[in-house]
Amino acid sequence: MTEHGKTPVTVLGLGAMGTALVEALLAAGHPVTAWNRTPGRAEGVAAKGASVASTVSEALAANKIVIACLLDYDSVHEVLDPVAAGLEGRQLINLTNGTPGQAREMSAWAGQLGAEYLDGGIMAIPPMIGTPAAFIFYSGSGSVLAHARSALDTFGGVKYLGVDPGLAPLHDIALLSGMYGNFMGVIQAFALVGSAGVKAREFAPLLRDWLAAMGGFLDRAAEQIDDGDYVTGVVSNIAMQAGAYPNLLKAAEEQGISAELLTPLQPLMDKRVAAGHGAEDLIGVIELLKK
Residues near ligand FVH (CB under 6 A) are: 13-18, 36-38, 41, 69-72, 75, 78-79, 96-97, 122, 125-126
CA dihedral over 29, 147, 86, 39, signed as positive or negative: negative
Residue 15 or residue 49: which is nearer to ligand FVH going by CB?
A: 15
Question: What contacts 88, CB < 8 A, 6 or more positions away?
Answer: 113, 114, 115
41 residue type, one letter: R
Least gap, CB of 72 to ligand FVH (angstroms): 6
Question: What contacts 27, CB < 8 A, 6 or more positions away?
Answer: 130, 154
**Nearest in space to 21 (alpha carbons), one of 178, 152, 212:** 152
Spatial contact of 83 and 61, defined as CB atoms under 8 Å apart: no
Rounded Cα–Cα distance for residues 26 and 11 (Å): 12
Residues forming beta bridges with residue 119, ordered by sequence position:
94, 139
**Nearest in space to 137 (alpha carbons), one of 105, 92, 94:** 94
Spatial contact of 134 and 123, defined as CB atoms under 8 Å apart: yes
Least gap, CB of 56 to ligand FVH (angstroms): 9
Rounded Cα–Cα distance for residues 70 and 226 (Å): 36
SS3 158: strand
Q: Distance between terminal CA atoms of the chain?
A: 48
Residue 70 or residue 148: which is nearer to ligand FVH going by CB?
A: 70
Residue 72 or residue 88: which is nearer to ligand FVH going by CB?
A: 72
Instruction: Look up residue 10 and give its DSSP letter.
Output: E
**Nearest in space to 99 (alpha carbons), one of 80, 74, 136, 66:** 74
Spatial contact of 196 and 255, defined as CB atoms under 8 Å apart: yes
